[in-house]
């Protein structure tokens, strides 16, 4: 009998739930199509489900027709995008995660105080692109302690940092330590201020790997937080794999395994976790158990702009 241990918590976080709900409610209210700039979250199944309901995903604002309801993704956008949408009079619903918005506010506060701002994050990630574009003035992007050493900043300069919300807490600590070692005056949020969902899922994976022979992470290869969960498993010496759903399970991964640890990134729905369990059960008799862990109850309010959308019934009248 093979045991499947489920991490707690796993899967959708409050920011992802809010973003998907925004698109769903916009579609319900105004009808299809509703245009979404970039993937609403990094999960193919979520995107395809919303596309089937009438969401249209575009890469650039120029791809949105005049007058079309437009949703900004959970990762956030640059101010230039916001201004371009306003200039065209597009009805915009901003699905940026409130915790990402909090990072934007912190960054602007540090710049107003005249401090050199460092953003800890991965170059090219949509959240990082949006954050860089939300802050007026120079922002230095670093992703490793080595990049801290190369910063073109005087050692006596007042430095503040902000972080991408989906980073590994341990990696962030190392970069913050490198900043404090190089600069005399460093301020920034505590690592406890990194996204609660990121921290909770990483801690749960460590608990999972203490008992499992193998780690499976359900999530997209585009998802920074999902990739990091797999990396934590590897760091703990466990074979670790990232898969979109049960169809990607390789039976060879299960050879010699008695206990499978299973979790999901913050943008992966529970139905995909269940598809992996079903794929394992098709190969071996299984028992399923959920580890004790944090029960997440946080909910984010929906943006008021949703209420201002004209309903299709009213429009038809």
Catalytic residues: 127
How many other C-beta atoms are found inside a 10 Å radius of the C-beta of residue 90?
A: 17
**Cis bond upstream, residue 305 (ω within 30):** no
Determine the Cα–Cα distance for residues 211 and 191; give it in Å rounded to an integer: 26
Nearest to 134 by CA among 161, 159, 102, 166: 102
Could you please report the per-residue DSSP string of 94-117?
E---HHHHHHHHHHHHHHHTT-EE
The tokens describing 187, both together, are 């301020």
The tokens describing 252, both together, are 């060879």
Nearest to 244 by CA among 225, 269, 211: 269
């Amino acid at each position: 009998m093979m045991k499947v241990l489920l991490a707690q918590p796993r899967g959708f976080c409050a920011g992802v739930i809010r973003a998907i709900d925004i698109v769903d409610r916009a579609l319900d209210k105004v009808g299809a199509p509703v245009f979404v700039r970039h993937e609403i979250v990094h999960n193919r199944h979520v995107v395809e489900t919303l596309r089937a309901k009438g969401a249209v995903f575009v890469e650039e604002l120029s791809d949105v027709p005049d007058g079309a309801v437009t949703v900004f993704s959970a990762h956030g956008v640059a101010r230039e995008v916001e201004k371009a949408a306003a200039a065209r009079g597009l009805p915009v619903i901003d699905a940026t995660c409130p915790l990402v918005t909090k990072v934007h506010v912190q960054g602007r506060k540090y710049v107003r105080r005249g401090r050199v701002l460092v953003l800890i994050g991965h170059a090219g990630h949509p959240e990082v692109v949006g954050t860089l574009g939300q802050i007026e003035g120079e922002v230095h992007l670093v992703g490793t302690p080595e990049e801290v050493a190369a910063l073109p900043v005087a050692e006596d300069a007042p430095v503040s940092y902000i972080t991408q919300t989906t980073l590994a807490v341990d990696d962030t600590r190392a970069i913050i330590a490198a900043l404090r070692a190089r600069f005399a005056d460093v301020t920034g949020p505590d690592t406890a201020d990194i996204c609660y969902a990121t921290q909770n899922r990483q801690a749960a994976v460590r608990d999972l790997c203490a008992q499992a022979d193998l780690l499976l992470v359900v999530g997209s290869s585009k998802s920074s937080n999902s990739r990091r969960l797999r990396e934590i498993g590897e760091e703990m010496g466990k074979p670790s794999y990232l898969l979109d759903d049960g169809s990607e399970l390789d039976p060879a991964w299960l050879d010699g395994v008695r206990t499978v640890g299973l979790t999901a990134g913050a943008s992966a729905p529970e139905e995909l976790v269940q598809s992996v369990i079903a794929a394992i059960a098709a190969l071996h008799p299984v028992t399923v158990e959920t580890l004790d862990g944090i029960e997440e109850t946080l909910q984010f309010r929906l943006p008021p702009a949703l209420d201002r959308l004209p309903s299709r019934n009213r429009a038809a009248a």
